[in-house]
Chains A and B, each alone.
Chain A
């Protein structure tokens, strides 16, 4: 079967879980004998975006290039349509594209389409994280467009009035996401997808019956890339490393709570050090270290060096791939009770789940894991077993995709 994957914001090395998820899904489907091709958007004039390292990708890629000023919703849709039509796929996977995604869906509506929602982009026109005032927003753009429209305007008007909006505000303006016509287009695209893949049941509930064929498919890891390293006991005076990976500079990832919890722990003990993948070293102390942003290969080395992995996200993390990667390496995980994370970690068995946005609860959870090497080792081993059973890419692909593709083409 010929499968086209369209991702307007693909990055490699990956900037977050979504590109990594796409990479492994494509690789898995390729291993099942499908012919896969990735169509990704490239903006060579955009200093903010890094070039995709196509040489590191084991499947066919087609770069859909947009020069400055060419990135308009209609233009993007037309260019993807031209590129995908030349490939003539049997099924199109419509992946990450934020507010432009309904335009791409419309342009490719002559193919059976499977949409992958990596975050909450259809549910909020102002922020793909469905995050309002440092909390999960209780509204949903699909059902309350008039409330969400005002909310989006209140956040974005300052950027809009400059005449040079950037990022999300630019997409909001370019797609006219403030109009009911956009809302209708979004709803239609969701209803027309042959299938929709989401990461967790919270997202499925948000789709609220607009599409009958919604699949909850978690991410996974490739065990060859995340070999098991049993936790070794610490030598006298050696510090226990607590690692937080991912976009730590993003406030919704909860690095601030981790710092506060670390500060609480540092008042009572000095046997630990927190490493976070952030480039801002202004918060560095004896026990807190920003290790910078590193390529994918290097992150694996950090998991090996770490003793505990912490994912303190305060937004509804759709999946939480970093927790699975750490568990595969044999590390216990301390995670917040959000989105997919709470479905990955088993409380008390593979790690601890703490109350989101509560640094004291995080400190308490870390205290439990820091208490003994044997506990960490037992949790790490249990985590590895859980990943082997449920979260290897081979298992994820075999369990969900062949049946889904068959159903879509029926």
Chain B
């Protein structure tokens, strides 16, 4: 991530979100960090330490289906602000589409294993990226199911032990 002037981060309820804000503040001390949150959300003290500003989404949730309208409305406002960086903790199809709609200079997601993911800002690349990962994900998921259910099926499940 190059040195941005403004970083917008979409709030997440996942553990470690304040650590993400701390990380962004540490690496971009000069940037203006804005927290994007749903209506009615109050930033905690540990979050307020690292942010300069907040912007409210008109909907009460950021998740589909109710969140889509709010995010679409908000994306129009953010587009006018010409933001440098938009970031998410983890990623989802909704957030990716929101990222494309906001048209930031860069869009990133910080994943749970520490990976910082540069998200493409065009629809075709986004869909291609998602499909590629879904295919490899399904492959692993089915391999795990094969082992767990079919290879383990020779063993009769024991009676539930009592403790």
A binding-site residues for B, Cβ under 8 Å: 43, 45-49, 68, 71, 136, 138-139, 144-147, 149-150, 152-153, 156-157, 160-167, 170, 172-173, 178-180, 249, 279-282, 292-293
Beyond A160-B140, A280-B44, is A146–B112 a contact (Cβ under 8 Å)? Answer: no
Within 8 A of A (CB), among B113-163: 113-117, 132-138, 140-141, 143-145, 147-149, 151-153, 155, 157-158, 160-163
| Interface residue B52 (Cβ < 8 Å from any Cβ of A) | no
| Interchain residue pairs A-B with the least CB separation, the first 4 | A46-B114, A166-B112, A163-B133, A163-B137
CA distance A150 to B145 in the complex (A): 8
Q: Nearest CB to that of B109 among chain A residues? A: A164
The 8 Å CB contact of A179, one of B116, B132, B147, is B147
Q: Nearest CB to that of A66 among chain B residues? A: B114
B102 to chain A, nearest CB (A): 22
Residue interface bits B15-29, CB-to-A below 8 A is 1, else 0: 110111001000000
CA distance A56 to B64 in the complex (A): 47
Instruction: Say whether B134 contacts A47, CB under 8 Å.
Output: no
Chain B residues positioned under 8 Å from A49 (CB to CB): 114
Number of cross-chain contacts by CB at 8 Å:
116
The 8 Å CB contact of B145, one of A43, A146, A153, A166, is A153
A379 to chain B, nearest CB (A): 30
A289 to chain B, nearest CB (A): 11
Chain B residues positioned under 8 Å from A144 (CB to CB): 157-158
CA distance A16 to B134 in the complex (A): 35
Q: Nearest CB to that of B130 among chain A residues? A: A163
Instruction: Say whether B144 contacts A180, CB under 8 Å.
Output: no
CA distance A170 to B113 in the complex (A): 8
Residue interface bits B31-63, CB-to-A below 8 A is 1, else 0: 000000000001011100000000000000000
**Can you name 28 A-B pairs with beta carbons within 8 Å?**
A45-B114, A45-B115, A46-B114, A47-B19, A47-B116, A48-B110, A68-B114, A71-B113, A138-B160, A144-B157, A150-B149, A150-B152, A153-B145, A153-B149, A160-B137, A161-B134, A163-B136, A163-B137, A163-B138, A164-B91, A164-B111, A164-B133, A164-B137, A179-B151, A180-B147, A281-B44, A282-B42, A292-B46
Chain A residues positioned under 8 Å from B15 (CB to CB): 249
Instruction: Say whether B137 contacts A139, CB under 8 Å.
Output: no
Chain B residues positioned under 8 Å from A150 (CB to CB): 148-149, 152
Chain A residues positioned under 8 Å from B110 (CB to CB): 47-48
Interface size on B, residues (CB 8 A): 45
Identify the interface centre among A46, A136, A282: most chain B CB within 10 Å of its CB.
A46
Instruction: Say whether A68 contacts B18, CB under 8 Å.
Output: no
Instruction: Say whether B136 contacts A157, CB under 8 Å.
Output: no
Chain B residues positioned under 8 Å from A161 (CB to CB): 134, 137-138, 140-141
Chain A residues positioned under 8 Å from B157 (CB to CB): 144, 146-147
CA distance A349 to B153 in the complex (A): 51
Chain A residues positioned under 8 Å from B163 (CB to CB): 136, 138
Chain A residues positioned under 8 Å from B115 (CB to CB): 45, 68, 164
Chain B residues positioned under 8 Å from A280 (CB to CB): 44
Identify the interface centre among B90, B132, B152: most chain A CB within 10 Å of its CB.
B152
A76 to chain B, nearest CB (A): 13
Chain B residues positioned under 8 Å from A156 (CB to CB): 144
Instruction: Say whether B133 contacts A279, CB under 8 Å.
Output: no
Instruction: Say whether A178 contacts B114, CB under 8 Å.
Output: no
Instruction: Say whether B137 contacts A48, CB under 8 Å.
Output: no
Chain B residues positioned under 8 Å from A153 (CB to CB): 144-145, 148-149
CA distance A152 to B141 in the complex (A): 11
Q: Nearest CB to that of A182 among chain B residues? A: B147
Instruction: Say whether B23 contacts A47, CB under 8 Å.
Output: yes
